[in-house]
Amino acid sequence: ELQYVNNVSIKIKYTPPSKPLLTNELYDLLIVTPSQFSNALQPLVDHKNSHGVSTMLVTLDEIYNGNYFSVQGRDDAEKIKYFIKDAIEQWGIKYVMLVGDIGKMPIRYIFFAQKWQHRYYNETMPTDLYYADIYDANGSFSSWDSNGNGVYGEEFDNCEGVNDTMDMYADVYIGRLACKNRFVAKTVVNKIISYEDKAFGEDWFKRLVLIGGDTFPGWGVVEGEFMNQLVADEMPDFNPVKIWYSLGNLNAMTIEKELEKGAGFVHFSGHGFPWGWGTHPVNGDDNEWVGTYYTPYVTALFNGYRLPVIFFDACSTGELDLTVSDIGKEFGVPMPNISVSLPCFAWYFVQKRGGGAIATVGSTRVAFTGVDSNGPYAGAGYLVYKFFDGYHKGATPSEMLVHSQNEYMNNEWKDRWSICEFILFGDPSLHIGGFE
């Protein structure tokens, strides 16, 4: 028997907090950096302040020594995260720029374990979302180590273990300049300043470059081109430039030529590697690669300040713990265990002097996607779709990324792997399209 009520009375009891969460609004942007980059970053601080983005630069030594706030945290990454929490509450910051590769600026690794067909698999993943998710749903510090065992972000699939509780909703907008040395830091600072000062009102900014083929031949839709078109539909004020297998122009030379002309945005949809991107022919063989574009090709890219924001809807382009040994293993080249780091594909676009990109979003590990004729429903496909859905005049790339992550969690599921692996390389406060 179906039962129902005619009227419902709801009583809401609200107890205001004893003190406001944000006590001041002193700064918009917090730059966290090793001291070796301070001088290189000072022109960026001055530039941001001159455009009304109140900016504070703090060195790691100042954080670890307690120059501003009392030091909390079990390791360096947690000390930085607690500092960000204090900076939100005491200074009212909105954006955090982390400067330095993972050898200079700590990153948090999270842990995944899975049992599949009587075999066990485990993987660690570096992610900067850790620094953005400051509070849990109750307003308490979100440690990502709820069981207190010193292993962060644990998730166990079909095997024994206790999952760590993770909120994953960003409380501040994060981006990383993965600079290895002062020269790279100066290069990226100059690119940001030049872009924000010159890009506004330029015709090239209205170009949207779309690059794709058939990501998974024989799986129904032509995923890459299909997702490119959905992105174009989300950006009606931009002029789509399609580099597609079905149009016969999907090759490295065409990609290079169109990027040289400048673009506001670029969408690569296909397969990624830490050193490049590629895809497959439409309804072709998944062993045949087309459109491959590798890191060395970016060295010949000279598009000046006409720099796009790029989303790599693909695997591993943001693998910022890439080493020389990884390259040797991939290509079967015998070499000693060399831990010297190399710039991943997504970051190389940003650090490229004289061209490349102004900001990129890439995955730090293997990505998956869920796309059918009704549209994207999971993984990278859903994230990139909502990333462009989040664009508006005056938007920042970090706001667009957080929009995509929140939409995914709110409307689909809290896919920890996909949400955490896509990170922003670039200035989180970047004024896309430049200042007026």
Q: What is the average per-residue pLDDT within 371-393?
A: 97
Higher pLDDT, 144 or 16: 144
**pLDDT value of position 327:** 78
Rounded to a whole number, what is the distance in angstroms from the first to the last CA of the chain? 64
Confidence band, pLDDT 50/70/90 cuts, at residue 2? very low
Judge whether residue 5 has pLDDT over 90: no
Query: What is the average pLDDT value for the chain, to the nearest integer?
Result: 93
Is residue 310 within 8 Å of residue 397, measured between CB atoms? no
Burial code of 56-82, b = ≥16 C-beta within 10 A, e = fewer? bbbbbebbeeeeebeeebeeebbbbbb
**pLDDT value of position 364:** 98
C-alpha gyration radius of the chain: 22
Is residue 349 within 8 Å of residue 310, measured between CB atoms? yes
**Cα–Cα distance list, 297 to 190, 278, 327, 364 (Å):** 22, 13, 17, 21
- Of the candidate ranges 153-162, 183-192, 302-311, 372-381, the one whose mean pLDDT is the lowest: 153-162
**pLDDT value of position 4:** 42
As given in the structure block, the two tokens for residue 101 are 């590769």
DSSP labels, 192-256: HHHHHHH-TT-GGGGEEEEEE--SSTTSSS-HHHHHHHHHHHH-TTSEEEEEETTTT--SHHHHH
Judge whether residue 149 has pLDDT over 70: yes
Q: What is the average per-residue pLDDT within 9-17?
A: 47
- Phi, psi angle pair for 341, to nearest 5°: -80, 150
Q: What is the average per-residue pLDDT within 265-294?
A: 97
Higher pLDDT, 228 or 17: 228
Judge whether residue 3 has pLDDT over 90: no
Instruction: Encode pLDDT of 202-255 as tens digits.
Output: 999 999 999 999 999 998 899 999 999 999 999 999 999 999 999 999 999 999
For the chain, how long is the longest CA-to-CA vector? Answer: 76
- Of the candidate ranges 115-124, 337-346, 366-375, the one whose mean pLDDT is the lowest: 115-124
**pLDDT value of position 260:** 98
Confidence band, pLDDT 50/70/90 cuts, at residue 14? very low
Strand 309-313 with 290-294, pairing: unpaired
Confidence band, pLDDT 50/70/90 cuts, at residue 29? very high
Instruction: Encode pLDDT of 77-105 as tens digits.
Output: 999 999 999 999 999 999 999 999 999 99
Judge whether residue 170 has pLDDT over 90: yes
How many residues belong to the chain?
A: 436
Confidence band, pLDDT 50/70/90 cuts, at residue 64? very high
CATH number of 199-425: 3.40.50.1460
**pLDDT value of position 369:** 96
**Residue extent(s) of CATH 3.40.50.1460 domains in the chain:** 199-425
**pLDDT value of position 336:** 66
Q: Which residue has the tokens 């690669």?
A: 289
Is residue 289 within 8 Å of residue 278, measured between CB atoms? yes
**pLDDT value of position 160:** 86
Judge whether residue 10 has pLDDT over 90: no
**pLDDT value of position 329:** 73
Paired with 120 in beta bridges are 115
